[in-house]
């Protein structure tokens, strides 16, 4: 069954305040999205990858993909105004015979091969699978205008959603085709559109290290975690363990 990956990487990175567009952000001197792209390159269950970014970065990304020897990145296409627009462009660029679609944020460099494989395998039994982790802090809902608490949510039923998110191609295409008008704030992940179809979305235990690079402090945390991983890889032992 043909499996294609869509990597949305067309965010402006406004919340990062790093002075660098998110698509060209480097972590430990390496383009952030290369970390995930290498995981997909090495995953035997993935056939090819569609990278979605801004047009002005096509050349940089073409060069980076070639320099890194990434053979599975078959297309680099233009993103849209919102994340959902970017994913929608990615869906339109998929091959006709693709049956499984994995969507992974380019801003999550700490995804593991194990999580990717587990999510794809689980998608043989479910038409929508999302990685997520149980919420650790207490979460309250507040009136955004007055900043007063309106209610405290039951933490035991709350999950923080990550990517990868994996779908049967016909389901995610239908979900996007029927998405209708909506703001970026409503469509912050892909599964929400599948939920609207009434299709069950299965949760796969994610990884607390699989953080999304959104604000400046995430860069510091991710670089530390990535250094730890490469130290593990080089001498078989994790630093500080």
Residues within the interface to ligand C5P (CB under 6 A): 8-11, 22, 52, 79-83, 86, 105-107, 188, 212, 214
Nearest residue to 161 via CA among 105, 217, 113: 105
**CB of 116: closest distance to ligand C5P in angstroms?**
16
Q: How far apart are CA 117 and CA 124, in angstroms?
A: 11
If the CB atoms of residues 76 and 126 are measured against ligand C5P, the closer one turns out to be 76
Q: How far apart are CA 30 and CA 45, in angstroms?
A: 25
Q: How far apart are CA 198 and CA 14, in angstroms?
A: 34
**CB of 13: closest distance to ligand C5P in angstroms?**
7
If the CB atoms of residues 57 and 126 are measured against ligand C5P, the closer one turns out to be 57
**CB of 232: closest distance to ligand C5P in angstroms?**
25
**CB of 39: closest distance to ligand C5P in angstroms?**
15
CA angle at 47 for the pair 44 and 49, rounded to the nearest 5°: 115
If the CB atoms of residues 126 and 176 are measured against ligand C5P, the closer one turns out to be 176
**CB of 154: closest distance to ligand C5P in angstroms?**
25
CA angle at 14 for the pair 10 and 16, rounded to the nearest 5°: 100
If the CB atoms of residues 78 and 231 are measured against ligand C5P, the closer one turns out to be 78
The torsion of the CA quartet 71, 72, 75, 79, rounded to 10 degrees, works out to -120
Phi, psi of 60 (to 5 degrees): -60, -45
If the CB atoms of residues 126 and 163 are measured against ligand C5P, the closer one turns out to be 163
If the CB atoms of residues 15 and 124 are measured against ligand C5P, the closer one turns out to be 15
Q: Are 7 and 49 in contact (CB under 8 A)?
A: yes
**CB of 80: closest distance to ligand C5P in angstroms?**
6
Nearest residue to 72 via CA among 22, 2, 168, 169: 2
């Amino acid at each position: 069954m043909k499996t294609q990956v869509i990597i949305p990487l067309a965010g402006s990175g406004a919340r990062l305040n790093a002075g660098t567009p998110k698509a060209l952000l480097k972590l430990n001197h390496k383009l952030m999205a290369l970390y995930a792209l290498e995981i997909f390159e090495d995953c035997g269950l993935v056939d090819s990858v569609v990278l979605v970014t801004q047009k002005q970065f096509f050349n940089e990304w073409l060069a980076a993909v070639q320099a890194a020897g990434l053979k599975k990145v078959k297309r680099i296409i233009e993103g849209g105004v919102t994340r959902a627009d970017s994913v929608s462009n990615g869906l339109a660029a998929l091959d006709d015979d693709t049956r499984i679609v994995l969507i992974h944020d380019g801003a999550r460099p700490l995804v593991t091969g194990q999580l990717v494989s587990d999510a794809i395998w689980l998608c043989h039994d479910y038409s929508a699978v999302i990685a997520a982790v149980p919420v650790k802090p207490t979460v309250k809902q507040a009136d955004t205008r007055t900043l007063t608490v309106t209610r405290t949510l039951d933490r035991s039923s709350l999950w923080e959603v990550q990517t990868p998110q994996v779908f049967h191609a016909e389901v995610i295409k239908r979900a996007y085709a029927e998405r209708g008008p909506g703001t970026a704030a409503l469509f912050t992940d892909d599964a929400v559109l599948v939920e609207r179809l009434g299709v069950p979305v299965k949760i796969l235990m994610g990884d607390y290290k699989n953080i999304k690079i959104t604000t400046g402090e995430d860069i510091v945390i991710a670089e530390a975690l990535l250094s730890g991983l490469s130290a593990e890889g080089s001498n078989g032992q994790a630093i500080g363990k």
